[in-house]
Structure 1
Amino acid sequence: MSTIEPIPDLGGAAQPLLTVTDLAKLFPIGGGLFEPKKTVRAVDGVSFSIAKGETVGIVGESGCGKSTTARLIMHLMPRTGGDILFDGQLVGEQISMRDFRRGLQMVFQDSYASLNPRLTIEDSIAFGPKVHGVADKEARALARELMGKVGLRPEVFANRYPHEVSGGQRQRVNIARALALKPRLVILDEAVSALDKSVEAQVLNLLTDLKREFGLTYLFISHDLNVVRYISDRVLVMYLGQVVELGPVDEVWDGPAHPYTQALLAAMPAMDPDARTMVPPITGDPPNPIDPPSGCRFHTRCASAESVCSAVCPALSPVAGGEHMAACHMVIPGSGHSRAPALGEVA
């Protein structure tokens, strides 16, 4: 009897499960007889790591590079630069793409487009294990077991097709399909954004339960800040293809250090009618990624911008001496910004 064996843990709890270094994706566009080629800098030097058993959330405006980053990690598109390590092994060299794809699965936003309309729910979940050598009978038994784990009764849903179930039920199918190969890391790209709020809450609670039961690690991508705060341990904020803030979710929410993060949080709807936002916390559209601004890419929309912001690109620097980091001259000691701490101090 063939079974799917999980990718072994090589480095122990101290070694990050995923390490991304200087990840980049440039899209060349244009370029005719009299027109020079231009480049869209979709992802530009993104670096972060995910600890084993952790949930890291990625937030930012549409077009900031969240989903492109996920697709680069999954190798669904070729990257322009950067390295990806899975449990300390360089992907494609020290660990094969077949093993990497088995150890890392992805759940997409569009639950219907993610499923083959000609396959029943049972066939969809069993397909991955069968590709990896599991016998048909065992694969179907695994599929039915996972359907139960995600709250779908096999006797009711096993022989249904994707168009015969609701959006929330389809997303549960996609989660079960992702778990069928016993991954260690699951990337969730806007996995709940298309669902009704009541269904969204059910799926979020399901993800939390599955993480605990299967020992999973999540990379959770969403534009909904409330959802990210609920499910994440750490949060990564992206703007125009770059990481501008990174840290434990409560520290970032309680003390956002980057003006862009402050604007995102200030724009969140409030239940209290007396706490309505009367002045927009951020104005204008993000700059064109073909020709991004020099220095800090947010300086064209930042109320605190000074000359150093347009001249020098700030590096991710510690905030309050902890794991919280921000790419802003106002937190870098001696950066030249009038609100920056003096040399030897920490923001």
Structure 2
Amino acid sequence: MTMQQDLSVSPVSQPLPGTGNMPGTADRGGPAQPLLIVEGLTKHFPVRGSMFSREKRVVHAVDNVSFSVPKGKTLGIVGESGCGKSTTARLIAHLMKADAGEMIFDGESLEDFRTVSHKEFRRSLQMVFQDSFASLNPRMTIAETIAFGPRVHGMAAGEAMKLARDLLARTGMEPNQFANRYPHELSGGQRQRINIARALAFDPRLIILDESVAALDKSVQAQVLNLLQELKAERNLTYLFISHDLHVVHYISDLVMVMYLGQVVESGPVERIYSTAAHPYTRALLSAVPSMDPDHRTEAPPLSGDPPNPINPPSGCRFRDRCAFAEGVCASRAPALMQVGKDAEHLAVCHLNDPTSGHSAASGRLSA
């Protein structure tokens, strides 16, 4: 891809200052232990009906989602708007309570925070949101914004302000020029760098980036992506990267998870997904990516129609109403998550991947 050539990661200039007074971020499980394991994560939102209706309806925002994120890797989450990407991120960050499921952070269950304290988990996981302006307090200076979290967690005021200035410098913001400015005096790219610096103030291990570069110009976007790559290498950070831009996901991710209507339909190593996608929905998403080759034009939309109503999702395979390969078995039975070929890391939820499903094309391969 051209982006991989254009967005080369510059050499690391200096180590990122640590937060010596921020305990609870040590590696407990070793490098082989995934940093985050999610099993059966579910979140349904009740829908208020009319005063005369007794029917209880819910929006199936996240339905039985399971995945793991190895330490020091980036998991990219893609899918159409409304597929549950951001809701999944907020459930992991405990910004909302899940209806069901279990989350394990470095080998320790987060259920009721019996083995890992809530404050320790908050320090270990930080989030960078899409709206860089709404994420910042307009009444606080940039240095105060970065220093606020560490001060709340017990760091001395002078040490917290020094840390804020160090982080400003590391994220490409001259402290003498920007420390005393307010958010409205900065550009979108500069504000997003401040949000990254604020997240780093706790010396986290997992950073969730929810469309964090979507609102930026391409040149600024490239700079922020390079910064994220540098920080990941320096600090052995783990990213959960949510984006609609499949070029960006390809560049920054090690693993990719594709969601559709609240469920995971395919996951695996990024190069495997982009070269030999096994699910028709994944192939449709990749086919919709604009090409730089003028001879490779998209003559017909690879995917038509809108996703089904999440209040009343289709039976069996949820993608069957928009799938060109759908057959009777797709409506009568939900496909199982299965290994694709000989790659144990590549998983897909499709009857085409199951020779025993009874699908007429299950033993073959999807046509290009």
TM-score tier (shorter)? over 0.9
1:263 and 2:281 aligned: no
Q: Report if the CA contact (8 A) 2:79-2:244 is conserved.
A: yes
Aligned residue pairs total: 342
- Matched residue SS, 2:351: coil
Q: Report if the CA contact (8 A) 2:36-2:104 is conserved.
A: yes
Q: 2:39: which partner in 1?
A: 21
Q: Evaluate the alpha carbon distance shift between residue 2 and residue 305 of structure 1 in structure 2; reply closer, same or farther with a 3 A threshold.
A: closer
Q: 1:97: which partner in 2?
A: 118
Q: Spell out the pairing of 1:49-68 with structure 2 (5 A cutoff).
A: 49-68=68-87
Q: Spell out the pairing of 1:81-160 with structure 2 (5 A cutoff).
A: 81-91=100-110, 92-160=113-181
- Matched residue SS, 2:352: coil
Q: 2:268: which partner in 1?
A: 247
Q: Report if the CA contact (8 A) 1:6-1:182 is conserved.
A: no
Q: Report if the CA contact (8 A) 2:23-2:120 is conserved.
A: no
Q: Spell out the pairing of 1:179-328 with structure 2 (5 A cutoff).
A: 179-322=200-343, 323-328=345-350
Counterpart Cα distance in 2 of 1:214 and 1:265: 31
Q: 2:9: which partner in 1?
A: none
Q: Report if the CA contact (8 A) 1:6-1:183 is conserved.
A: no
Q: Report deviation, 1:6.
A: 5.0
Question: 1:144-184, CA deviations, whole angstroms, 9 ceiling, x for partnerless residues?
Answer: 00001100000000000000010000000000000000100
Q: 1:43: which partner in 2?
A: 62
Q: Report deviation, 1:2.
A: 7.1
Q: 1:332: which partner in 2?
A: 354
Q: 1:75: which partner in 2?
A: 94
Counterpart Cα distance in 2 of 1:78 and 1:28: 14
Residue 188 of structure 2, aligned match among 167, 192, 197 = 167
Counterpart Cα distance in 1 of 2:23 and 2:175: 23
**Can you give the 5+ residue segments of structure 2 that lack an aligned partner in the other structure?**
1-18
Counterpart Cα distance in 2 of 1:236 and 1:266: 17
Counterpart Cα distance in 2 of 1:102 and 1:310: 45
- Matched residue SS, 1:275: coil
Question: 1:269-304, CA deviations, whole angstroms, 9 ceiling, x for partnerless residues?
Answer: 111121110011111100000000000100000000
Question: 1:178-223, CA deviations, whole angstroms, 9 ceiling, x for partnerless residues?
Answer: 0000100000000000000000000000000011111100000001
Q: Report deviation, 1:339.
A: 1.2
Counterpart Cα distance in 2 of 1:315 and 1:174: 39
Provide the aligned C-alpha RMSD in A.
Answer: 1.2
Counterpart Cα distance in 2 of 1:200 and 1:261: 24
Q: 1:345: which partner in 2?
A: none
- Matched residue SS, 1:124: helix
For 1:225, give the aligned amino acid: L
Q: Evaluate the alpha carbon distance shift between residue 184 and residue 149 of structure 1 in structure 2; reply closer, same or farther with a 3 A threshold.
A: same
Q: 1:341: which partner in 2?
A: 363
Q: Report if the CA contact (8 A) 1:2-1:135 is conserved.
A: no
Counterpart Cα distance in 2 of 1:6 and 1:184: 10
For 1:112, give the aligned amino acid: F
Q: Report deviation, 1:262.
A: 0.4
Moved more, 271-280 or 38-47: 271-280
For 1:7, give the aligned amino acid: T
Runs of 4+ in 1 over 6 A off after TM superposition: none
TM-score, reference length from structure 2: 0.91
- Matched residue SS, 1:85: strand
Moved more, 24-33 or 55-64: 24-33
Counterpart Cα distance in 1 of 2:65 and 2:115: 22
- Matched residue SS, 1:44: strand
Q: Report if the CA contact (8 A) 2:24-2:120 is conserved.
A: no
- Matched residue SS, 1:188: strand
- State percent identity of aligned pairs: 63
Q: Report deviation, 1:30.
A: 1.6
TM-score, reference length from structure 1: 0.97
- Matched residue SS, 1:324: strand
For 2:61, give the aligned amino acid: A
- Matched residue SS, 2:115: coil
